[in-house]
Amino acid sequence: MPVVPGGAYQQGPSCFDRMKLGFTIGFCVGMASGALFGGFTALRYGLRGRELLNNVGKVMLQGGGTFGTFMAIGTGIRC
């Protein structure tokens, strides 16, 4: 069994690293919910083809950015 020298403790991730992870997770969740809600809404409006993809892509980026930002802020508050 190896002996750990005294004072060599493992350090956790920094606050900025946690905020980046919170943003990434929030961005992924926001993109997924944007794909679902934006896709159904665009189909309900009767969009097809390129219009459908453009609309869904825009809603996904907006949802991901918004939710990611709020997750990063919430993670920063907890640091």
**8 A C-beta contact, residue 4 and residue 61:** no
Determine the average pLDDT of the residues in 13-37.
Answer: 96
- Mean confidence (pLDDT) of the chain: 91
Identify the helix (H) or strand (E) that includes residue 6: none
* Confidence band of 16 (pLDDT split at 50, 70, 90): very high
Cα 43 to Cα 4, 23, 32, distances in angstroms: 60, 29, 16
Whether the per-residue pLDDT at 4 is higher than 90: the answer is no
* Confidence band of 62 (pLDDT split at 50, 70, 90): very high
